[in-house]
Amino acid sequence: MLELTPEEKNNLPRHVALIMDGNGRWARSRKMPRLFGHRNGVENVRAVVNAAKEVGVPYITLYAFSTENQNRPKDEKSGLMKLLEEFLKKEFRSMMEDGIRLRAIGDLSGLPGFARKIVEDTIDETRDNDRWNLTLALNYGSRQEVLQAISKYGQDNPASDHIPTWEEFSPYLETSDLPDPDLIIRTSGEFRLSNFLLLQAAYAEIFVSPLHWPDFGRDAFIQALSNYAQRERRFGKTSEQIQQPAQPLASS
Ligand code: IPE
Ligand code: IPE
Ligand code: MG
C-alpha cells in the first residue's frame, strides 16, 4: 500500500477536484455497455473519498455530469441519474457518521425530479456536518456559472460602472463557500478541463492520469497527492522568493 512521506503529508492540497473520465472506455475494453462503466465508476467514488479522509484532504469536488453531457443518449442520462440516486441513498448513513457535508454546483433544475430531490434533501440533511466537504458538479458548466454570476452581480449592483474586484465578484460564483481547487485530477489521459471550474482553476495544479476512472483507486489518488506535494507553486513569484523565508525587518 502506497504511503505518503511525512514531508508530503505537510504539503497536501486542501481542495482536490476530480474530472472522473473514462467510464465508457473502461466498459468498452471489457465489451460491456457504457452504464456498466458508470456503475463501476460510482463504486470508485467511495474509494477516493475514503482516501481523502485517510490522509486529510477536507474538500473533494467531483465532476459527475456536465452541461454538455445533456447531449448524450437518453438511456445513458437516465442510467446516470439512477446511479446518482442509488449512491446518495447508500452513502447517506456513512456521510452522517463521518461528518461529510454534501454540496452541489450546477443547474439542478435540469435534473429529473427524483434526482434533484434526493440531492437537495441530502444537502439539507448534511448541512451541519463540518469535517469533510463533498461537492458534486451536476449539470455543471463553468461558462454558464459565470454568466449567471454576472447577471446576479448586475442585479445587486444596478447602474454601477465600477469594474468589480475578484473579491467582489467571486461570491457570485456557485463555489462561493469553497476554497479554490489546489489540485485538479483528470483521469483517462485527456488534457482538457471540459468546462470545469475555469476561473477557480486559475492557479490549480493539474494532474492527468492515464487510468480510466473505475481503475483510479486509493493508491492512484495517493500517488497524485505525492506528485502534487513535490511541486513548487509560485503564484507568479520567482522560485527564490518562494524558497526564502520571510526576511525579518532590518533592525539597527
Ligand atoms: C465519465 O466517463 C463520466 C461522465 C462524463 C458522466 P465517460 O462516460 O465520459 O467515459 P468515456 O470518456 O466515454 O470513456
Ligand atoms: C467531462 O467528461 C465531464 C465529466 C467527467 C462529468 P466528458 O467525457 O464529458 O468530456 P469530453 O467531452 O471528453 O471533453
Ligand atoms: Mg469522457
146-153 contacts, C-beta under 8 A, 24 or more apart: 146/173, 146/198, 146/199, 148/172, 148/174, 149/173, 149/174
Kindly report the average pLDDT of the chain as a whole number. Answer: 97
Q: Is the pLDDT of residue 235 over 80?
A: yes
Residue 21: active-site member: yes
Q: Can you tell me the mean pLDDT for 36-44?
A: 98
Cell 456513512 belongs to 94
pLDDT at 160: 84
Determine the pLDDT at residue 190: 98
User: d(Cα 8, Cα 208) in Å, to the nearest integer?
Assistant: 19
Which of 18, 19, 21 most suits a substitution to test ligand 2, by most atoms within 8 Å of the C-beta? Answer: 21
Count of beta carbons in the 10 Å neighbourhood of residue 105: 24
| Cα radius of gyration (the chain) | 20
- 24 CA to centre of ligand 3 in angstroms: 7
Q: Which of 18, 20, 21, 71 to mutate to test the pocket of ligand 1 (most atoms within 8 A of CB)?
A: 21
Give the separation between CA 111 and CA 62, rounded to whole angstroms.
Answer: 17
Query: Quick one: cell of 142?
Result: 463553468
pLDDT, residue 224, reads: 98
Q: Indicate whether 250 pLDDT > 80.
A: no
CB 79 within 8 A of CB 35: yes
* Element housing 205 (H / E): strand 205-208
Task: Calculate mean pLDDT across residues 211-230.
Answer: 98
- Ligand 2 atom 7, closest CA: 21
For residue 51, count CB atoms less than 10 angstroms from its CB and return exposed for 0-12, middle for 13-18, buried for 19 or more. Answer: buried
The closest residue, in CA terms, to atom 8 on ligand 2 is: 21
pLDDT grade for 251, boundaries at 50, 70 and 90 = low
What pairs with residue 186 in β-bridges?
A: 19, 208
Q: Which of 23, 44, 50, 69 is catalytic?
A: 69
69 is catalytic: yes
Q: Which ligand is nearest to the CA of 25?
A: 1
Give the nearest ligand 2 atom to 194 CA. Answer: 14
245 pLDDT band, cuts 50/70/90, is confident
pLDDT band for 252, please (50, 70, 90 cuts): low
Which tens digits make up the pLDDT trace of 4-26?
999 999 999 999 999 999 999 99
pLDDT tens-digit map of 159-203:
888 999 999 999 999 999 999 999 999 999 999 999 999 999 999
The three-class DSSP label of residue 51 is helix
CA of 64, nearest ligand number: 2
Helices (H) and strands (E) in the chain, counts: 9, 6
In this structure, the residue with its CA closest to atom 13 of ligand 2 is: 194
Q: What is the CB < 6 Å shell around ligand 2? A: 19-21, 63-66, 69, 190, 192, 194
Ligand nearest to the CA of 137: 2
* Assigned CATH topology for domain 14-141+182-230: Undecaprenyl pyrophosphate synthetase (3.40.1180)
248 has pLDDT over 80: no
Segment 90-95 shows an average pLDDT of 98
